[in-house]
Amino acid sequence: MRRLVLLMLCAAMAVAQAFAAPPHWTGLWETESAERLLKSGAPDFEPPKLWGKPPYNAEWAQKVAAAHPPGAPPAAAELQLPPTTKVCAPTGFPAIMEYGVPDFLFEILITPAETLLLATDGAARHIYTDGRPHPAPADLWPTSLGDSIGHWEGRTLVIDTIARIAGPVGPVPWAANLSDRAHFTERLHLIDVDTLRDDMTIDDPARFSHPWRLTMRYQRVKDISRMIAINCAENDRNPVVNGKIVIAPPEH
């Protein structure tokens, strides 16, 4: 009986420690690429790192070269991403972690059982931190967000994601193209009170010659007080004015 009580106490203490690990992750966050776009506009748009060139193996390097000849991606002016661009479709993972559009934000909710990343496009990324494993192969199938589990190492959230559907990373055809065997490892932690960093490693044995390592940073959003839902089918309630997201009155 004493041993059972001791085990229960240790488990409760571990959960409490994990839950208390990141005291300043609340609030809204945007990617640095989105922040740069807000300030500079489309001519100086810097594509997200996830749109870059991954370490393809010979087979996939040849396939990508045939599908997208030299010169792609197009110039920034052809991307049609001015500072008023709105996200109209779910982005999926890993694009949710680096979407260079100014009104795309995410919020972090930490509970003892999981950490949630909630995005303005309605996506909810569930990262289970209560010790549960990935589902058994018979119960696991690829989805746009994949299956994520994690654990805390001090104030760093270590995330393991598998079972993402095959296809391009992000909403553009020239973005990196992954198989459904891609394996993602992330280390998410604060650099300072207003800067969050994600060190991501993507290992794709079907398409990469070696792991692809990326670093993404996020800035805390301070000029709005709440998440604003996006609906491109209706009038725009959150236009970007002078480099800042604002809330406009509804049209009559």
pLDDT at 46: 65
pTM of the full structure: 0.79
> Two tokens at 116?
């949630």
pLDDT at 161: 98
Element (H, E) at 195: strand 195-203
pLDDT at 224: 82
pLDDT at 234: 53
Residues 78, 90: Cα–Cα separation, whole Å = 22
For Cα atoms 202, 150, 106, give the angle at the middle one, nearest 5 degrees. 80
pLDDT at 3: 58
pLDDT at 120: 84
Comparing 108 with 47, the larger pLDDT belongs to 108
Q: Lowest-pLDDT range, 35-44, 81-90, 167-176, 211-220?
A: 81-90
Strands 183-192, 195-203: pairing is antiparallel
> Two tokens at 167?
């296809």
User: At 1, which amino acid appears?
Assistant: M
What is the Cβ-side half-sphere exposure of residue 63, based on CA atoms within 13 angstroms? Answer: 11
Residue % of the chain over a pLDDT of 90: 46
pLDDT tens for 165-209 read 999 886 666 789 999 999 999 999 999 999 999 999 999 999 999
Residue 40 has pLDDT above 70, yes or no: no
pLDDT tens for 199-251 read 999 999 999 999 999 999 999 998 888 887 665 555 456 666 665 666 676 66
Mean pLDDT of 139-156: 95
183 and 204 Cβ atoms separated by less than 8 Å: yes
**Virtual CA dihedral for 74, 166, 126, 32, nearest 10 degrees?**
-20
Residues 147, 163: Cα–Cα separation, whole Å = 6
Comparing 26 with 7, the larger pLDDT belongs to 26
Residues 75, 150: Cα–Cα separation, whole Å = 38
Residues 164, 192: Cα–Cα separation, whole Å = 31
110 and 127 Cβ atoms separated by less than 8 Å: no
Residues 39, 113: Cα–Cα separation, whole Å = 38
Residue 77 has pLDDT above 90, yes or no: no
Average pLDDT score over the chain:
79
Residues 238, 82: Cα–Cα separation, whole Å = 15
**Virtual CA dihedral for 91, 245, 219, 32, nearest 10 degrees?**
60
pLDDT at 228: 74
Mean pLDDT of 53-77: 77
